[in-house]
Chains A and B, each alone.
Chain A
Amino acid sequence: MKSIKYLAMGTIFGSALFLAACGGGESNASGDTGSSEEAGALEGQVRGDGSSTVAPIMEAIVEIYSAEQPEVRVSSGVSGTGGGFEKFIAGETDFSNASRPIKDEEAAALEEAGIEYTEVVLGYDGLSVVVSQDNDWVDYLTLDELKKLWVEDGTEKTWADIREGWPEEPVEFYSPGTDSGTYDYFNEVILEDEDIVRSATLSEDDNVLVQGIIGSPNSIGYFGYAYYLENQDTLKVVPIDNGNGPIEPSNETIESGEYEPLSRPVFTYVNNSSISENSAAANFITFTINNAGDMAEAVGYVRAPQNIYDEDLEAIEALK
């Protein structure tokens, strides 16, 4: 029986040593609170949560930020836009990433909880409507056609129903899940609160949508621009005609707003009292706005016009 004790002790000490070896750098440094004030090093904790669409931008920002302020411990979850706001309303997070503007009921709940917030734009995303590359008939879609495609009307839709001359093959739909901000945004600008086609395959994982659309010539789907960029060899993007001629999503058309109405800003919502009370949070959010454009582009999103970043920065500075 002794040897079991040794084994157990060995395991515990072994893992303790391993942890000490790996985590040593950080824990030593933050152990002596206050002594690292020189060179303007900040300490503190900043917590966030929210949209998984925004997560890559946030991760990139946190990555370069932690190189600059290693003592500020920023963490962010990916519970989805709605899930993030739930925690934001509960006061558990300092910032909440969102791939759509805040909803009225969420704003009301925040007011009730006494939480004031500021909206910060991180970048732009273009909802890309895509079909399979084997689909050789769709050249562009108007907004009306898009709505006709996606709204449930009780019939099984074929491509011929949408425009004459297109094949009489049933359309297969792929959409992000109803919990995602991407769905909410599509719902707002295209579906206009009508029900989405019942036959649509919904998935929270955009890679599932990509695979589904590649797999069938009769399929159509939509998701963030970054997913189209990564799969442009295997997918065909559909130019959208909003009345001013068909426009394809690209860095230029999304930033300029030409790719209307499917180009959307992605946000993070900041708790005002975090800015005024937590100097680490204030520092991090300022850093975020200053670097959001570059980081958004680095991970496949589009930079917002500079004046938007400037305005957000001003709003945050005013809170400090």
Chain B
Amino acid sequence: MKYMDHNVVSSKMKSRLTKNKFFKGLFFAATMFGLIVLAVLLIRIITQGGGYINWDFFMNFASRFPEQAGIKSALIGSIYLMLVVAPVSMFLGVGTAIYLEEYAKQNKMNRFIKVNISNLAGVPSVVFGLLGLTIFVRNFDLGISILAAGFTMSLLILPVIIVASQEAIRAVPRELREASFAMGATKWQTIVRVVLPAAVPGVLTGSILALSRAIGETAPLVVIGIPTILMFTPNHLLDTFTALPMQIFDWTKRPQVAFHDVAAAGIIVLMTLLIIMNSIAVFIRNKYQKRY
């Protein structure tokens, strides 16, 4: 008795193989589409702006002469912004995640909170800008300062950090916690000495990716009213400042083509910053990832 009719199989084989090849090609094309567009963008930006990248570009303020224009105030402003956003958003984000995962009871209220944190991640960044303008700039009277912008950006990336930290904390095996409790540790001791160390790679990866988003975001800064014409660097956190994306945005709108090249140079700097931050995330993940 034959289980397979070889004639039927071989007659269908050809069409099956073609189908297989077709989809392989289709998905390969899908992969390449993104990569090629990215490569074209990169090449264009590097050929346009590469010539403007030199020491002066980092040490000069903006200028009416494209060849003298620099990003000093914008770069330092962006770094200051990160110095506010990183601690604020990570403290609030990881704190919320620990509360929700370790302390909170699984009742309706907390499920409601969790759903809304996920929803918050989908709110357009302009809306966060408006929130920041009303609450931090006007109500708290922080003015158009690093602190106000930093708080706004922290709110913007908070949902991402919370969700990433929650996932990381949840991935820590139950047995580890139980072992810790069995040794007589309190909940707090367990969290600090067992759960957090095990969750650190996930928490940091998520946080750094979220920070990368904050450093490239323009819309909330535009809404808050961050200036672009500014020939000084901030002295303290309540000083006004400008940031890289704002400066790039301003240059691309100029009539002179040379300024578009300067903008490209600014994009290269911003992109390098992003790549460095993402590499740190990858590095941390690879180095500290443990499998249980």
Chain A residues near B (Cβ < 8 Å): 1, 4, 7, 15, 18-19, 22-23, 26-27, 30-31, 47-49, 52, 55-56, 58-60, 62-63, 66, 70, 73-79, 83, 87, 92, 205-207, 224, 226-227, 229-231, 295, 298-300
- Which single member of A19, A55, A87, A231 contacts B229 (CB below 8 Å)? A55
Residue B64 contacts which of A18, A30, A49, A56 (CB distance < 8 angstroms)?
A56
Tell me which residues across on chain B come within 8 A of A295, comparing CB atoms: 64
Min Cβ gap A228→B in Å is 8
Is A230 within 8 A of B253, CB to CB?
no
Interface size range on B against A: 35 or more
Q: Which residues of B contact A70 (CB under 8 A)?
A: 232
A73 to B227, CA, bound (A): 12
Q: What's the least CB distance linking A41 to chain B, in Å?
A: 14
* CB of B89 within 8 Å of the partner chain: no
Q: Are B227 and A63 in contact (CB under 8 A)?
A: no
Q: Are A49 and B284 in contact (CB under 8 A)?
A: no
Query: What 8 pairs between A and B have smallest CB-CB spacing?
Result: A66-B231, A60-B64, A75-B227, A76-B229, A77-B227, A230-B255, A23-B233, A75-B230
Are B229 and A58 in contact (CB-based, < 8 A)? Answer: yes
**Which residue of the partner chain, among A31, A74, A78, contacts B250 with CB atoms under 8 Å?**
A78
The reply to whether the CB of B197 lies closer than 8 angstroms to some CB of chain A is yes
Q: Which of B21-29, B76-84, B110-118 contacts A (4 or more CB under 8 A)?
A: B76-84
Query: By the criterion CB–CB under 8 Å, are A207 and B229 in contact?
Result: no
Interchain nearest-CB distance for A4 vs B (Å): 6
Q: Which residue on A lies nearest to B283, using beta carbons?
A: A7
Establish whether residues B225 and A79, one from each chain, have CB atoms under 8 Å apart when the complex forms: yes
Residues of A within 8 A of B19 (CB): none
Chain B residue numbers with a CB within 8 Å of A74 are 229-231
Q: Is the CB of B240 closer than 8 A to any CB of chain A?
A: yes
In the complex, chain B residues whose CB is within 8 Å of the CB of A75: 227, 229-230, 232, 240, 242
B33 within 8 A of A: no
Inter-chain contact B231/A22, CB cutoff 8 Å: no
Known: A23-B76, A76-B229. A205 touches B253 (CB 8 A): yes
Name which residue of chain A comes closest to B234, CB basis.
A23
Decide: A19 near B79, CB < 8 A? Known: A56-B64, A59-B64, A63-B63: yes
Contact with A along B85-115 (1 / 0, CB 8 A): 0000000000000000000000000000000
Q: Would you list which residues of chain B between 232 and 261 have a CB under 8 Å from chain A?
A: 232-235, 239-240, 242, 250, 252-257, 260
Expressed in whole angstroms, the minimum distance between the Cβ of B215 and any Cβ of chain A is: 13
Do A87 and B61 have beta carbons less than 8 Å apart? no
* Chain A: CB-nearest residue to B64: A60
The answer on a CB contact under 8 Å between A63 and B80 is no
B200 within 8 A of A: yes
CA distance A31 to B226 in the complex (A): 24
Whether A49 and B255, one on each chain, are in contact in the complex, defined by CB atoms closer than 8 angstroms, is no
Given A74-B231, A76-B230, do A87 and B225 touch, yes or no (CB 8 Å)?
A: yes
Contacts of A73 in B (CB 8 A): 230, 232, 239-240
**Given A19-B79, A56-B254, A206-B253, A26 contacting B233 (CB threshold 8 A):** yes
